[in-house]
């Protein structure tokens, strides 16, 4: 969102270079000693969402598990997407934990720590005549997306550099405040298909499987998911890197990835996909 080869060793101590000894996870690095204040947009099932007034989802469980090995508590602040980076930079929270894609634009303004590999899928109405498998099939169609996502720029470039250059109609892109609003727009036939995170797409099918399908067959625009940390806040950044390295060696970490059918990035993934500042 904008502003897993078995033979390669998965994310561990070498993620961003050699990690320091785990004896110092530095719980005092955070704004409140012994507590990580976390900003998340709780509208992105299955990553983070609210159920019975309680934060739920993969990212929430991941951070709780990591905080446990770090010996700290977590306070989650439900914050709309557009306010996450400004909130972090303004000191409202210690970190962003909101399935945020690591992009070149973002690493210019915040530091990011990779912890997951993801990408996009295409959702379509079940039984409709329009079942696009790739973004190239969006030309001349109405496509919905949550505002502020990293793939929007890719779609805008595709519309200009592929659709229009080949004499096809441009993509009509409609942006919505949240992902569920985008899905509702598709169900209401305001848009014909939806581009969203692959994990979110699987979650939508789980909830609305009788009405929607994932029409794409392969992961689109593979990318790293990362936590955001305010630039210059190296103490928090190192504490999180150390905590991730320690948590990644536990059975709970492996079980959580299996539960959600998610992939940890390999060192090769990180080397290939991590943007340079």
CATH of domain 119-220: 3.40.190.10
pLDDT in tens, 123-145: 999 999 999 999 999 999 999 99
CATH topology of domain 27-118+223-273: D-Maltodextrin-Binding Protein; domain 2 (3.40.190)
From CA 153, how far away is CA 1, in angstroms rounded?
A: 10
User: What is the separation of C-alpha 128 from the centre of its chain, rounded to a whole number of angstroms?
Assistant: 28
Point out the residues of the chain with pLDDT beneath 50. 1-24
- Residue 266: both structure tokens together: 């390999």
Task: Check residue 88 and give its pLDDT.
Answer: 98
From CA 237, how far away is CA 203, in angstroms rounded?
A: 30
Task: Check residue 209 and give its pLDDT.
Answer: 77
Domain ranges of the chain: 27-118+223-273, 119-220
Region of 53 (left: φ > 0; alpha: ψ -120 to 50; beta: rest) is: left
Identical fold, 27-118+223-273 and 119-220 = yes
Q: Are strands 35-40 and 95-101 parallel, antiparallel or unpaired?
A: parallel
pLDDT in tens, 183-225: 999 999 999 999 999 999 999 998 897 899 999 999 999 999 9
Task: Check residue 150 and give its pLDDT.
Answer: 87
Task: Check residue 113 and give its pLDDT.
Answer: 98
Name the residue with tokens 């934060």: 55
Task: Check residue 43 and give its pLDDT.
Answer: 93
What is the DSSP code (8-state) at residue 102? -
Is the pTM above the cut of 0.85?
A: no
Q: What is the largest CA-CA distance in the chain?
A: 61
């Amino acid at each position: 969102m904008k502003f897993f080869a078995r033979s390669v060793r998965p994310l561990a101590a070498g993620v961003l270079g050699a990690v320091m000894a785990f004896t110092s996870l530095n719980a005092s690095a955070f704004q409140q000693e012994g507590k990580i204040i976390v900003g998340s947009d709780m509208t992105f099932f299955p990553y983070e969402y609210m159920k019975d007034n309680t934060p739920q989802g993969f990212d929430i469980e991941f951070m709780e598990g990591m905080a446990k090995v770090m010996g700290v508590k977590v306070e989650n602040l439900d914050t709309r997407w557009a306010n996450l980076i400004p909130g972090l930079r303004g000191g409202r929270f210690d970190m962003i934990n909101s399935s945020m894609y690591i992009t070149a634009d973002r690493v210019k303004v915040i530091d990011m720590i990779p912890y997951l590999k993801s990408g996009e899928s295409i959702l379509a109405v079940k039984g409709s005549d329009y079942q696009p498998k790739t973004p190239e099939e969006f030309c001349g169609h109405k496509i919905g997306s949550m505002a502020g996502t990293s793939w929007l720029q890719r779609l805008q470039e595709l519309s200009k550099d592929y659709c229009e250059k080949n004499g096809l109609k441009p993509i009509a892109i409609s942006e919505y405040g949240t992902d569920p609003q985008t899905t509702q727009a598709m169900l209401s036939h305001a848009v014909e298909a939806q581009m969203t995170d692959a994990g979110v797409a699987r979650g939508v099918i789980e909830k609305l499987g009788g009405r929607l399908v994932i029409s794409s067959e392969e992961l689109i625009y593979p990318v790293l998911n990362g936590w955001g940390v305010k630039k210059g806040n190296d103490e928090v950044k190192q504490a999180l890197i150390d905590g991730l390295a320690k948590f990644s060696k536990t059975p709970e970490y492996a079980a959580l990835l299996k539960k959600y059918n998610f992939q940890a990035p390999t060192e090769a993934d990180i080397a290939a996909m991590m943007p340079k500042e």
